[in-house]
Structures are given as C-alpha cells and as structure tokens.
Structure 1
Amino acid sequence: MLAGFRYICAMSSLPTPPARLSMLQVLACGAAVVTLSMGIRHGFGLWLQPITQDMGWTRQTFALAMAIQNLSWGLFGIFGGMVADRFGAFRVLVGGAILYAGGLAGMALSPTPGLFALTTGVVIGAAQAGTTYAIIYGVLGRQIAAERRSWAMGVAAAAGSFGQFLMVPLEGQLIAALGWQQALLVLGAMALLIIPLAYGLREPGFSAGAVPAPRSQSLGEAMVEALRYKSFVLLTLGYFVCGFQVVFIGVHMPSYLKDHGLSPQVASFALALIGLFNVFGTYAAGVLGQRIPKRTILVFIYWARAVVITVFLLVPLSPASVYVFSAVMGALWLSTVPPTNATVAQIFGVQHLSMLSGFVFFSHQIGSFLGVWLGGYLYDRTGSYDIVWWLAIVLGVLAGLVNLPVREAAIVRAPAAAAAA
C-alpha cells in the first residue's frame, strides 16, 4: 500500500506534457510560410537574363550565386534545425524572415559579383534554411500524430508547390512592370509576412516557463546514430540527386527555352505548371506514404524523372512539349520531400527531426549547388546545356537504385531512449 502511494505521488510530480497545437492551425500557418518562402525562391530563374544583361555578368556569375545559395541553405539548415529542436521553430522563423528580406534587398542592390554572391548566396540561403521544410516539418512531427504525419507533410509540400504556381507568374509580372530591382524589393517586403504567420507555430513545449521535454540523446549522439545507419545514408545520397535535377531545371530552363527561340512567357507558364502539378504530386506522395513503403514511392519518382527528361530531350521542342514536360515533371518535382522526411521520422522519432531533416537536406543542397553551377559553367564553356541534361538522367537512374534497399522500420534502442523519441 505504501509503495503504491509513493508511486502515485511520484507520478503526480512529473511535468505534464504540453498540450499540442490544433492540427488545422499548424497546417494553415505552416503551409502559408512554405508557400511564401518556396514561392519566392522558385522564381529566381526569371532573374538570370535581366540581371546578367543589365550588369554585364556571365551566366556563370549568376549560377555561382545560386549555387552558393543552395549550399548555404543546406549548411545553415542543419544548425537551424538544431535550434528549432531545442528552442522551438518560432525564433528560427522570425530570424529567417528578416534575413530573407535583407537578402532580397541585397540581391537587388549589389553592384559587384562578390557582393551579389554574398547576399543572393549566403544570406538568402540562410534565410531559406530558417523558413522552409526542415523547420516546418519539425513542428508537424511534434504536433501531429504519427498516423497522419506523412499526410501532413504532403500537405505542407503541396503548399510549397502552390507557392510556385502562385508566385512565379506574379514575379514575372513584377519584373515586367517594375523592373528586376524593384521587383526584388517588393518580394523582400512580402517575405516579412512570415513573421506574423510564425506566431501560429509557437509550440507550447517551447514557450516561456515551459518545462523542457526530457532528451534521451544529445545532438551528437543522434547524428552519430543516423550516420551509422545504412538507410539514412542511402536516403541522403538519393536526395542529392533530387537537388541536382530540380534546381538545374528551375534556374536554367527559362534561359534554355529562350536560347531555342521560345518567349519568356512560355518559361513563366512552364514554371507555374510545375508548381501547379506538384501540388497534386506532393499531396499524393504524402497520402501514399501512409499506405505503401515510402522507398517504393522514391524509386518510382527518380526513375520516372529520368524517363520524362529523356523524352523531353528527344521530341521536337515547342510550347506544347514544354507544357507537357512541365506538367509531368511537376507531379514528380518535390514529391520526394514527404516520403523522405516521413521515413526519417519513422526510423529515428521526432526528438531531433528538424536537425536530421536538415542534414538530409544538406545533401540535397550539395546536389543543387552542382546542378545550378554546372549548368552555368558548362553553358559558358560549350554554349549548350546538353551535358547537364543527360547527367540528370543518369543520376535519376542511380538514385532509384540507391533507394531500393532502404529499411523504414524504427531503429531499435534501449527502452528509455525509444520511449523518449
């Protein structure tokens, strides 16, 4: 009897787990943040020719800044994830929004390639690290039950795709109406809208005076565990290819089309179509991730991309072929995001989800760096994008093979550690 009384007293003295935010609130605010942050960055390819022609720079100069941006995004994403996992996403989102506005202003006003690379590359990359998927998915993982997590990640990824559909035509109109510099300043002001949206993602467990949740692993232990786990490494390698393909196409396709005599309006509409169809593709990937093995989804996506790009290069280029390519490629565009991140959460739990997602995404951004930089470098050397297109096909086949042996089962830990995760 006495032992039972002591047990009840001990249990009553434990800190009460903080209440969760409502799923509707998390999805609405998270989706709106991703719509803005990803919508702005998806249109950067529209600025390639106006900036290089006005400033007298080569395409490689612009491509290098974009490549640095993607690398900066990936690198800062790891540290942003660490901060979000420890102190909550709100602070990271506010800081990212301020950096985004400042970086876009710097992109508009930079007089030299070096300053352009610093603002467009390093600053905007750090801003994207604090306002995009890894941070939002950390909130989703902590606030939404596991049985709906993959679906919720699909919704957030679809929001980013809708941002592309919504924002890219708007950005094209802003450039036409205001000029490329003023258009960037307008986007900088729009980026600050992320700050009020971040208030809807203030998690109770990270609010002032809240009792911190017990942590079974340090950051270092979680990272070492992940790097020693084969499936995590394979997911990371596959995500490299995703970054290479989508950023090369997103940044260089407008110039590729113009080089072949198609109008800028075709490019703007093509990028918008990618965003529109990716709404359906990412949502479908999230839903299917609750029902079939996520590695199956990833293998299909990578191999399908290789086929679609091959067909695009072999058929005669026309507005119709561009629109068909954009629609089909759009359905595959960011549909890797929900199954990849949901697999990470399923294997390791959500305790360090933002950091681990940030680490996987760093590989994505190394691929992005190479895709966008090689596009500019090889174009300036050969006058063509052909080598990079075919490289994207080969890498797509390899990425599918890499994801075949991924295991999705939760990692086995000591009982206390497993419960805390």
Structure 2
Amino acid sequence: MSTAKPAYAAPLKNPTFYVIVAAALIISAAMGIRQTFGLFIGPFSYDRGLPVTLVAFAIALHNLVWGFAQPFAGAAADRYGAAPVVAFGATTFAAGLALAAGSPSAIALIAGLGLLVGIGVSCTTFGVVLTAVGRAATPEQRSMAMGIASAGGSLGQVLMVPFAQLVRETSGISTSLYALAFLMLVAAPFGILLDRRREVGAPNVAASTAAATVPPLRETLAHAVRHRGYRLLTLGFFTCGFQLAFIATHLPGYLTLCHMPMGLGATALALIGLFNMAGSWACGWLGGRFRQQHVLGWLYLIRGATIAAFFLLPKSTVSVVLFAAVMGLTWLGTVPLTSGLIAKVFGTRHLGTLFGVVFLSHQLGSFLGAWLGGYVFDATGSYTLIWAATALAGLFAALLHFPINDTVHAPVEPARA
C-alpha cells in the first residue's frame, strides 16, 4: 500500500502553500497600489495645476521603466533569490510614492510615480514573485499554482482602490499616497517566504543532474529569440499591456465625461480587481487542462469584443458594472498563462529572465496605452480613437497566439522529492 500523501491533504505542511500565500500578499500590495493611479489624474491636474498629459506621462513612464527593469529584476531573483529583490523593490516603490506625495512639482511626480515606482514594481510583481511560485510548484501543478497566486493577488486591487479613494477624499492626495507607501513597506517581509522552497526542499540527485544540464543564460536567451512561438508571445503581450494600462488609467476620467455618477470609476476599478480573482484562478485551471496559447487566444478575443461593445453601446451604471466584470475575468489571467507557457517550453531555471523580456513588450504597450490616452484626449477632446484601437488590439493578439508552437525545448524537469 502506498504511503504517499496527496499534496492537498496537509497544505500547511507543504512549502509551496507558503510560497503561494506570500506571493499573493506581495502582488496584492504592489498591483493594488498601482491600480489606484487613475484616481489621481484629476486631483493632480485640478489641485496642483498639472496638465492631464503630464500626469498620464508619469503613470505611463512607470510602466516603461517597469518593463526595462523587469529582465534585470528577474535575473537577480534567478541568481540571488526573491527575498532581497522584493525588499529592495518595496522600499523603492514606497520612496516613489512618498516623493510624489511630498512635492507638487512635475519633476517630483515624474521621478516618483514614473522612475522609482517603475523600478519598485518590477521587483514586487510577476517577474520575481510569480516565477518563485513557478519554481516551487511541480510542472503538473504550475499553471494552477500561478493562477491561485494571481487570484489572491487581486485582493489588493479590490481593497486598495476604495481605500485610496476614501483617504484622498477625507485627507487629500498626499496623505493617501503616504498611506499606500506604508502598506507597500508592510508587504516587504513576505518576500522571505518566497525562497522557502529552496530552504526546505530535500536534496535530489536527479534535480542536481538536471540542473547541470541546463544551458547558461546567454544560450537560453539566444535560443528563445530564435523561437517563433516566443516571438509571437512577446508581440501578443504588448497588446495586453496597451489595453490594461489605457483602461486602468483613463476609465475614471472617461466615465466622468459620460456624466456617470461620481465614484463610479473607483467602483469599476475595484470590480475589475474583484472579478480578476475568479478570472486568474479560472485561467490557471484552464491552462492546466488545455493548450495555454489557445486559452490566451480566446481570452484576447473576448476582451476585444467586450471593449468594442462597451464603447459603442449607451452608457449606464449597469453597462459599466458589466464591462468591469467581464474585463476583470480577462484582466490578469494572461500572466499565469504566459509565464506558464514559457516555463513549459524553456523550463524554470531562467524563467525570471525569459518572462522579464516578454514582459518588457507588455510594458511598452502599457506606456503607449496610458500616455496615448492622455495625448489623444488633449489633442481631440475625445477618447474615441484610442477606444477603437484598444478593441482592435484584442483581435490582433488572438491571431498571434493561436499558432504558437509549445513543443518543449528544455531539459525535462525531475519530479519533486
């Protein structure tokens, strides 16, 4: 009779459980805080006299800096572990928020929300935190584990938006940003648990042998660049960043222009985070049972159709709630699917770096989505062109993902001890 115990029998004794919980808490703080930035565009413009284009540029810049910093943050976590990278990132993130809160100048806003927050978020989100989950889980459970961590991380998006809105309305912009900075620092110590699997995992001769056969980073990167599926995945992730950054940054202002009730923008952002919990879990589950590139293709089609319908149909509170719900279901489910597909094809040894390169494309899209939204509005007085581009981008991404080849191009990973 076998004495093996199923992984779900005693989750508190399973090191992977702690990695997933810690990852969810850190992602909750980082992603929840950056989800609030759209709430500050109007106040920064009206209260501090800064142009909408400038505020949108600062928010867009943090996406760009995040993208360029992500491969380096991922490589650092691959080499030194996630804990020191998360600690550095949380401190830098908090410093950026504090700088933007303490000074009304445009330079401080760009340096704080743009540069420092961008560096900080690269160290406290998917490329570092979620890849730690990918290493801790078995290949069979990896997609689901990443989906659970992403779903748990969405809790911050649900809680942070109304929290930031409440503090801003009662105490002002500066106090709200200081409070968010404090919460980011509170999340930093959970990074220690991300390396728990390394510390408590039993030695494994097969694992040591397999590790010795893993090609060096330079060779892995060169192979990935030549891999057609990796290139298609990189191009498709650009679309994801473009869509999400535009909506997160400009949806509150757009709803104001449509004469929607005050506070509906914050409610919509919070609902996106709420439904993202279910969507991320579902995408992780689907990615473990179907080809991940096909799930991604359908996800982008649904997202693009939803954006088009929302823009073209009459606006009401009900339509905004429905839009936020469907967008939430398709919001960050792309991340466990994309990182899981990279791990399947290339293995986990250099996962942080390989995902970081793909994520750079995502953040280039995020920069354009956030910045072009403000630029098009200032230039035309309308968001019409950018809404159309955002909807069409979903079809473009779907066409890129369906033909991706997911044949394994890495040494087979050994079973966990």
Give the TM-score taking structure 2 as reference length. 0.91
Q: CA RMSD in A?
A: 2.0
Q: CA-to-partner distance for each residue in 1:19-47, whole Å, 9 max, x for gaps?
A: x9712111111111111111111111001
Residues 144 and 288 of structure 2 are in contact (CA less than 8 Å); yes or no, is this contact kept in structure 1? yes
Q: Which residue of 2 aligns with 1:407?
A: 405
Identify the match of residue 22 of structure 2 among 22, 29, 32: 29
Measure the CA separation in 2 of the matches of 1:198 and 1:26. 9
Q: Which residue of 1 aligns with 2:81?
A: 88
Residues 89 and 121 of structure 2 are in contact (CA less than 8 Å); yes or no, is this contact kept in structure 1? yes
1:147 is paired with a residue whose SS is coil
Identify the match of residue 122 of structure 1 among 104, 108, 115: 115
Measure the CA separation in 2 of the matches of 1:237 and 1:195. 32
1:282 pairs with 2:280:
yes
Q: Which residue of 2 aligns with 1:174?
A: 167
Residues 250 and 370 of structure 2 are in contact (CA less than 8 Å); yes or no, is this contact kept in structure 1? yes
2:140 is paired with a residue whose SS is helix
Q: Which residue of 2 aligns with 1:151?
A: 144
Q: Which residue of 1 aligns with 2:271?
A: 273
* Distance of aligned partners of 1:420 and 1:280 in 2 relative to their CA distance in 1, 3 Å threshold: closer
State the Cα distance separating 1:61 from its structure 2 match.
Answer: 0.2
Measure the CA separation in 1 of the matches of 2:413 and 2:125. 28
Q: CA-to-partner distance for each residue in 1:170-201, whole Å, 9 max, x for gaps?
A: 11111111111111001111100122211212
Residues 253 and 267 of structure 1 are in contact (CA less than 8 Å); yes or no, is this contact kept in structure 2? yes
Q: Which residue of 2 aligns with 1:106?
A: 99
Measure the CA separation in 1 of the matches of 2:93 and 2:135. 26
State the Cα distance separating 1:215 from its structure 2 match.
Answer: 6.7
2:290 is paired with a residue whose SS is coil
Deviates more, 1:312-321 or 1:75-84: 312-321
Q: Which residue of 2 aligns with 1:342?
A: 340
Measure the CA separation in 2 of the matches of 1:406 and 1:85. 26
- Matched AA of 1:178: S
1:97 pairs with 2:115:
no
Q: Which residue of 1 aligns with 2:10?
A: none
Deviates more, 1:232-241 or 1:107-116: 107-116
Q: CA-to-partner distance for each residue in 1:124-156, whole Å, 9 max, x for gaps?
A: 000000000111122112211111000011011
1:264 is paired with a residue whose SS is coil
- Matched AA of 1:32: L
Q: CA-to-partner distance for each residue in 1:283-330, whole Å, 9 max, x for gaps?
A: 000001111111111111111111111111121111111111111111
Q: CA-to-partner distance for each residue in 1:340-388, whole Å, 9 max, x for gaps?
A: 1100000000000011111111110000000000000010000111100
Measure the CA separation in 1 of the matches of 2:68 and 2:152. 24
1:193 is paired with a residue whose SS is helix
Measure the CA separation in 1 of the matches of 2:115 and 2:45. 19
Give ranges in structure 1 of 5+ residues lacking alignment: 1-19
Q: Which residue of 2 aligns with 1:328?
A: 326
Measure the CA separation in 1 of the matches of 2:71 and 2:173. 32
- Matched AA of 1:233: R
Q: Which residue of 1 aligns with 2:384?
A: 386
Q: Which residue of 2 aligns with 1:313?
A: 311
2:263 is paired with a residue whose SS is helix
| Structure with max Cα Rg | 1
Measure the CA separation in 1 of the matches of 2:213 and 2:384. 50
Give ranges in structure 2 of 5+ residues lacking alignment: 1-12
Measure the CA separation in 2 of the matches of 1:331 and 1:302. 11
State the Cα distance separating 1:204 from its structure 2 match.
Answer: 5.8
- Matched AA of 1:91: P
State the Cα distance separating 1:220 from its structure 2 match.
Answer: 1.7
Q: Which residue of 1 aligns with 2:296?
A: 298
Residues 21 and 203 of structure 1 are in contact (CA less than 8 Å); yes or no, is this contact kept in structure 2? no
Q: Which residue of 1 aligns with 2:134?
A: 141
Measure the CA separation in 2 of the matches of 1:420 and 1:376. 49
Measure the CA separation in 2 of the matches of 1:107 and 1:307. 37
1:188 pairs with 2:188:
no
State the Cα distance separating 1:264 from its structure 2 match.
Answer: 3.2
- Matched AA of 2:159: L
* Distance of aligned partners of 1:25 and 1:203 in 2 relative to their CA distance in 1, 3 Å threshold: closer
Q: Which residue of 2 aligns with 1:17?
A: none
State the Cα distance separating 1:216 from its structure 2 match.
Answer: 3.0
* Distance of aligned partners of 1:136 and 1:65 in 2 relative to their CA distance in 1, 3 Å threshold: same
Q: CA-to-partner distance for each residue in 1:255-283, whole Å, 9 max, x for gaps?
A: 00111212331111111111111111110
Measure the CA separation in 2 of the matches of 1:354 and 1:169. 32
State the Cα distance separating 1:113 from its structure 2 match.
Answer: 1.5
